[in-house]
Amino acid sequence: MSRVISLERHVGRPVRDAADKPIGRLHEVRVRREGSELVVVDYLVGRAGFLERFSLGELMREIGFLVGFRRPGGYIVPWEAMEFGDDGPRCRRQAAELERFSAAPREAR
């Protein structure tokens, strides 16, 4: 089943999990090409997603690590676990059920 939504309305908005707890802001949508269509694979929620959105992930991982900044983290939300309503994006799973996403240096992962 396919569904068309206006993602630009939701990027940057806070996301709540199934327990109604905030898990971060929606910053990045990852897609894959299927024929002539782009299909959403997952969403990156949280500060690490913000860095990834602007292709700063690798650069900021290295710079931040060198100067001792806290590593931004976030969540990878599968496409089927996200719903979009008038009150914004909401994850159908609890944060503990989601895969973590980190802006840690690659060798530290």
Tally of domains within the chain: 1
Distance CA 41, CA 59 (A): 24
13: domain CATH number? 2.30.30.240
Residue 56 lies in a domain: yes
Residue 1 lies in a domain: no
Residue 97 lies in a domain: yes
Distance CA 28, CA 41 (A): 11
- Residues 51-77 have pLDDT tens digits of 565 555 555 555 555 555 555 578 999
pLDDT at 30 exceeding the cut of 60:
yes
Query: 63 lies in which domain range?
Result: 7-103
Residue 34 lies in a domain: yes
pLDDT at 109: 44
Residue 2 lies in a domain: no
Predicted model pTM: 0.72
